[in-house]
A and B are shown apart, each in its own frame.
Chain A
Amino acid sequence: MHAIVIKNYQRIPFSAIPALPYELFVPVILEELMIDDSCHCVNYVGFPHNDKVQLICCIANDKQHTIYVTSTIVTLNATLPSLTAHKLAFHIFERELNEQFGIQYTDHPWLKPVRYSFNRSDLNKTIANYPFYSIESEELHEVGVGPIHAGIIEPGHFRFICNGEQILHLEIQLGYQHRGIESLFVEKKKILQRATLAENIAGDTVIGHASTFARVWESLCETAVSPALQLERTLALEHERIAIHTGDLSAMCTDLAYQLGSSVFGRLRTPIINYFQEWTGNRFAKGLIRPNKTNFTFTKELATRWHEVISKFEPDFIEMYDMLSDLPSALARMEKTGIVNKETAQTIGMVGMAARASGLTRDIRMSHPEGWTTISHQPVIKRHGDVFSRVQIRKEEALQSIQYIRQIIELLPDADKGITEEKDALPDSFVIGLTEGWRGEICHCAITDKTGNLQCYKIKDPSLHNWLALGLAVRNNEISDFPICNKSFDLSYCGNDL
């Protein structure tokens, strides 16, 4: 057996993961597990093992709704041939393995550090002395922005090489937001501390990350959560999608200099997040998701209030969107700008809403919905992969989420606080959990040791796959279109840097 086949959020003994010699590991992944386009790597993590490191690779098969897990054990600072040379989508994982464990890949095109983590293997590589890619030419010029940007957003550095107004190349430098979250997950012992950490991985994806952590933890402890609790979480996840898509439409309009759209979508976001405050006491729903329980049960009154809020929101949202999508000056900026075609999206392993805007049918709600929801989901797909496709997706997904919440409220059994008794994580366990957050595929992996202590917690925000897409999308575009390209993806800095 070359790989173990599991379902989303299924607990398996860690020792059940096969450990292949590296010479076999590579062909098994490329030829047996990545059989066609319906398979992609959802996580590839290094787990330190005395003086060695176990590389665990998780490949999702969207058609079979399964995840293959296999591994290999190599020495620290080993020199190895890469997977990236065959499948570019592995580039980011191998860059991280290089950064963490000093693994040298002989044929990897670009071993750039991912996040300059405090415990990286080579402390001499710093964010300040990084050699940016440059081109010697009298005709070209470089533009550097960040780490502190002009607006109120997270830090990152963008280095453009331009020919006049036209962008030839964009290099994205991240790592400024690294807070050592994965180590803190292991160091902090209380469940509430870990749930708090999960909520603060990316503050715009509170439900996405916190519910993934909660489900992974429940699987580690083998506690079954009630259907009511599961549905409430799904409801919150879809509500978060509506909130962020609306806020991002506002930000898109700001970058288009379309004042009306910016104000109206901005104000439409307010009742949505205020609804979270009515339900949970926090506009971002921090405090809502806890393993095995909830402190804020979704009641009949809350259901009625939700219908009230949405019945006012929906017509105004549609009206404003119709206006935007009819506006020639806005369309001229958005159409055919910042294109990522389907082939590129597949090659670099894009996920989430941005991948669907490029025509990839990749959505965890459809492909790996285990234990998550009883609603059968049809992803919204667009083909052009431009800024406008990503804008269209946001509108259609927000409306779709409204429909889903309507259905969930119908299905919801009577309020249920869940079980409050805490159980311990089971020893020698491995769990991988996938959730479709508003931005895309969130993946958390947990490993416990022989006594049930958490040994390793690996987090992957969808941004990790998609930052490269932004770099490619802006090529040959005018530099003045960068803000709308950037906002149409709205990738996470802190989700990437952790």
Chain B
Amino acid sequence: MFNNLKILHHQGKQFIPDVTKAEAAGIFRGRPVISKASVNTETLTELCPTSAITTNPVSIDLGRCTFCGECAIQFPEKIRFTKDYKLSSNTRNQLIIEEGIEQPITLDADKIRKEIRRLFHHSLKLRQISAGGDNSCEWELNAVGNVNFDIGRFGIEFVASPRHADGIVITGPITQSMAKPLELCYKAVPDPKIIILAGVDAISGGIFEESHALDRSFLVQYPIDLYVPGNPVHPLTFINGIIQLIGLES
């Protein structure tokens, strides 16, 4: 008993009191800011491993960006990554950051399906499906429930069965062999239900986009409620995305 108390005492206070205002450690690469400086755009677009950069105007698609940081290292006068971890959106377009834009990424409240906030505002149970995920997003989604991030405080929880869930969180580029299990799992979730794509691989296929081993047809058939960029997604990005979706952020 005494030893248990000693261990507890040694942990100190670990939980992050306000996950909407916490500061990400170190040199986290979050929302990029692109200046109007003129650079050789051909070299710039050419260097990106996932073709996330386009020109006229220069923009970065966070749904394709692996956050490798290479563009900011080679063109520091043009691209800078801020520590803003609030990267999620419910529209794919919002993930495209154009030059000269410094505004935070937000959700389009009008496009959030009405039943989401009405039904899931205080309680949201999610079933995670790894469909070719490399296990880094999976580690981070586990971390959102730990004593530091504690997503449980918002009534949000990962559950074991799709029948207990209100929606699914997909990681990975969706391999051929996972296409069917993914669909079966989604169908087993009772209506109304939501779909969240977590990580660059799920959103666009990422570095695997052109692979012959994928089958992403599921994403064409069903509506996506939230895109959470990252490689892997940071727990703070994930938590903030979801609480914005269900209308908990003040």
A-facing mask of B205-226, CB < 8 A → 1, else 0?
Answer: 0111011111000000000000
Contact between A286 and B136, CB atoms less than 8 A apart:
yes
Does A201 reach chain B (CB closer than 8 Å)? yes
Does B29 reach chain A (CB closer than 8 Å)? yes
Least distance between B19 CB and chain A CB atoms (Å)? 14
Least distance between A252 CB and chain B CB atoms (Å)? 14
Does B86 reach chain A (CB closer than 8 Å)? no
Contact between B212 and A263, CB atoms less than 8 A apart:
no
Write the chain A residue with the least CB distance to B70: A192
A-facing mask of B157-195, CB < 8 A → 1, else 0?
Answer: 010110000000000110111101100010000000000
Contact between A184 and B207, CB atoms less than 8 A apart:
yes
B-facing mask of A310-330, CB < 8 A → 1, else 0?
Answer: 000001100110010000000
Does B24 reach chain A (CB closer than 8 Å)? yes
Contact between B130 and A267, CB atoms less than 8 A apart:
no
* Bound Cα distance A476, B50 (Å): 48
A-facing mask of B101-131, CB < 8 A → 1, else 0?
Answer: 0000000000000000000000000001111
Does B232 reach chain A (CB closer than 8 Å)? yes
Contact between A319 and B10, CB atoms less than 8 A apart:
yes
Chain A residues within 8 Å of B208, by CB:
179-181, 184, 200
Chain B residues within 8 Å of A152, by CB:
128, 130, 138, 141-142, 158
Does B148 reach chain A (CB closer than 8 Å)? yes
Contact between B134 and A202, CB atoms less than 8 A apart:
yes
Write the chain B residue with the least CB distance to A263: B147
* Bound Cα distance A310, B9 (Å): 18
Q: Which of A360-378 contact B (CB under 8 A)?
A: none
Least distance between B95 CB and chain A CB atoms (Å)? 19
Least distance between B216 CB and chain A CB atoms (Å)? 12
A-B CB pair tally, cutoff 8 Å: 200
* Bound Cα distance A117, B50 (Å): 23
Chain B residues within 8 Å of A201, by CB:
134
Contact between B69 and A203, CB atoms less than 8 A apart:
no
Contact between B177 and A179, CB atoms less than 8 A apart:
no
Indicate whether A277 sits within 8 Å of B27 (C-beta atoms), given known contacts A180-B212, A284-B232.
yes
Chain B residues within 8 Å of A267, by CB:
11, 14, 146-148
Contact between A116 and B177, CB atoms less than 8 A apart:
yes
Does B248 reach chain A (CB closer than 8 Å)? no
* Bound Cα distance A315, B11 (Å): 11
Write the chain A residue with the least CB distance to B136: A203
Contact between A179 and B211, CB atoms less than 8 A apart:
yes
Least distance between B15 CB and chain A CB atoms (Å)? 9
Segment among A170-178, A216-224, A343-351, A452-460 that sits at the interface with chain B: A170-178
Contact between A264 and B206, CB atoms less than 8 A apart:
no
Contact between B136 and A178, CB atoms less than 8 A apart:
no
Least distance between B38 CB and chain A CB atoms (Å)? 23
Least distance between B146 CB and chain A CB atoms (Å)? 5
Known: A266-B147, A277-B25, A286-B232. 12 other contacts (CB 8 A): A148-B185, A152-B142, A176-B132, A193-B50, A196-B49, A202-B135, A203-B232, A275-B26, A278-B25, A284-B136, A286-B66, A319-B6
The 4 closest A-B pairs by CB, nearest first: A203-B136, A278-B26, A180-B213, A203-B134
| CB pairs A–B below 8 angstroms (16 shown) | A148-B129, A155-B178, A176-B181, A178-B177, A179-B175, A192-B68, A201-B134, A266-B143, A270-B148, A277-B28, A281-B67, A282-B67, A283-B140, A283-B234, A316-B7, A492-B135
